Chain A
Amino acid sequence: MTVEQAFREEWAHAVAILTRVLGDLELAEDAVQDAFATALERWPRDGTPRSPGAWIVTTARNRAIDRIRRERVFRQKAELLARLDAMPAEEADVTAIPDERLALVFTCCHPAIAAESRVALTLREVAGLTTPEIARAFLVAEPTLAQRLVRAKRKIRAAGIPFRVPPDHLLTERLRSVLAVLYLVFNEGYAATSGQSQVRRDLCDEAIRLAKLLAVLMPDESEVLGLLSLMLLQDSRREARAGPGGELVLLEDQDRALWSRDRIREGLRVLERAVSLGNAGPYVFQAAIAAAHAEQRPREEIVALYDRLAEIDPSPVVRLNRAVAIALAGDVEDGLSLIDQLAELEGYHLFHAARADLLRRLERRAEAAAAYREALALVANEAERTYLEGRLREVS
C-alpha cells in the first residue's frame, strides 16, 4: 500500500479516533497530518508497515504528545497527555478502538456550523481533501477557505458542538443535514463543465465515496441508500450531458450509449435495497425517478413517482419538476399552468427555463423568447447559458 492509498483509506479513521481522545478536532487533524508526513519519509525507505492504519494512529498519537508538550500550557498539558496515555501505544492494540468516523461526519455537518463551512469541513476531515483542493473545487481563494475551516473548527470547540452520533430524537434532523452536505458536494461537481478543472468533477466521486461510507456505517437508513443511488444514477449520465463544445445536452437528447452501464446497475441495486427497508423519503423517490429515466420507463410512471414525491416534499422545486414531468407526458398545457402557480420561484433560472421550454413546445414563440431571456438573466453556469442562448435563437 502506498502512502497515498493509506491516506484515502485511513485519514478519516485516524482523525476521528484522535478527536474522540483529545476532544479537539484541530489538534487531532494536525497530529494525523504529521503522521502522514512521517509516513512519506519512512515508508519508501523502511517499507510499508503491516497494518498501515494502526501505524498512522499510533504515530499520530506520538506526534500529538510532541505537539502538546510544545504548544500547550501546563494545565491543559497534564490533562491531554493523560488522555493520550490511556490510548494503546502498540499498533497491535489499535484495531480494538471503535470506529468513530460516523461521529466525525455528524460533527462536521452540525447545523450550528455555517452551511458552506459544513461542506468544506466534511471534505477536509472526512474525505481528507487538502485546503487547496477544496478551494479550487469551490472556486474560492485559498486563504478564504483556510479561514473558513479555522473558524469552523474553533466554533466546534468554543460553542461546545458535541463529537458524537446524535441521540435518536435528533437523528432524523441531523441526518438530513449530513445528506444535504453530501448532495451539495455532488452537485458542485456535477455542475462543473468539461472545460473546468478535474478537481471539480472529482467532487462527484468524492460525494459517492462519502455516501458509501455512510451506507456502511448506517446500513438501515433508507435515505442514505436513496441518496447514494440517486448520485450513482445521475453520475451514470456524466459523459452524455455535455456536447463536444461543453454545451448542455438535455436528458431526452442524450446519446444513451454514453451512459455508464456499471453506474446504472450499481444505482439500481442500491435503490432496491433502499426500497426494501420501507419508509421511503425524498431521496429514495428522487432515486426512483432517476432509475425510471435510466430504464426508459413510460412517462406516466415518472409522473406517478413525482406525485408521491410531492406528497412527502411539497417544496416549490419538486412541484416545478413534477409540472415538467406532466408536460413531457403529454399534458403541456397542464404542466404550464402548474408552473405558472409557482411565483415564489421567480428568482430561479430553471423556473424560467422550464416555462420557456413548454411555451416553445406550444409554439408561443414570443412568450418563450421572453422567458428564455429571464432565465439567461439569472443563470450562472456557462454550459446552461450556451444552451439557453441556442434555444432563444431558435424561437426568435
Chain B
Amino acid sequence: MIPVFEIVLLVVFAAAPIILGDYLTVFVTRVFILALLALSFDLAWGYSGILSFGQALFFGAAGYGVALLARDLEIASIFMVLPAALVIGLISSFGFGALLLLGRNPPTKIFVALGTLSGSYVAERLARGWYYIGGQNGIPSIPPMTLGGYEFVEGRYYYYLAFSVLAIVYLACRFVVRSQFGLALAGAREHETRIAFFGYNTQELKLIVFSLAGGIAGLAGGLYAFHEGFVWPNILGVALSTQIVLSALLGGAGTLIGPVIGVMAIEIAGFWLADSFPKLWHIILGMLLLLVVVFSPTGLIGLVVSDRERVGSFGCPLPPRRHTDTGVDDGTT
C-alpha cells in the first residue's frame, strides 16, 4: 500500500500547480517545507526512538543562519544557502545531540524529550532578546534565493524547488531506513538495551540519526526563510516543534509517508476550518487530532497499512523464497 500512496502523491504534487491558483501554490509549498520538518522528526522518533520536541530549534537556527548570510554577506545563491542550511542543521543538532545522548548510560526518552523541548524554548527566548538578529521582530526583507540570474520568489518555481528537495530527501531517508543501518535503528527503537549486548553503540547510532534529522530540519528552515522572506523567533520555538510532533503522529510515525500525510491533513483541515469556523477552528482541529491519536495510535496511515508493512524489511532484496522438502529455501541455490 505504501508505494501506491507514494506514487499517487508524487503524480498529484507534480501536476498540482497546473490547476492550483497562485495562493494555493504558495500554500502547498509551505506544506512541503513543513513536511520536510515532519520527516526530520519522524527519522528521530519513528525510526530511532528519540523523542525530539526540539526540531524547530534546528529549523530556526538554519533559517536565521541563511537570513544573516543573505542580509550581511549578500550570499543568496542556491548553491551556497541550501548547503549552508543543511550544515547549520547538522552541526547544531550534532552538538546538541552529543550533550543529550552521549553519556555513561543511555538517556531516558523523557530526558531527551525535556532536553530538546528546553533547547527549543531557550533558543526562542534568546532570539527574542538578541538585537543583532532582530529581537522580537526577527529579520525582515530577506533577499530572494538566486540561481544564476534567476530569483526564486514564492510561486510555481519555488513550489517545484521545495517539491524536488522533499522528494530527494524522502528517497534518501527511504534508502537509509530500509538499509541494514535501518535494521540497527529498528533494533534501537524496539529494545535499545538488548542490542547494546550485541555490540552496538546505541548512543552513537542515535547521535548519527539525530544529526541527520537536524540536517533535514535545517534544510527545511533554509527553504522556509527564503520562501517567507523573513524569519522571526517563533520558528525556533516550542509551538512549531509541537505542531510537527502532532503532524507526524497524526499521519503515522515510523513510516516516511505518514508525516507527509499528517502535515497535509493538518494544514488543509486548518485552512478549511479557519475559513468555515473562524472562532472554533482550533478547538475542532484539536478534537480531531485527539480522536485519531486515541483510536488509531499508528496514525492515519495505520488505518490502511498493516503493522508488518509499517516495519518493512531491511537491506537489499532477498533471493526469491521457495519452499523445499526440508523447509524454506535458504537462498543459496
Chain A partners chain B: no
Identify the B interface with A (CB < 8 A).
none
Identify the A interface with B (CB < 8 A).
none
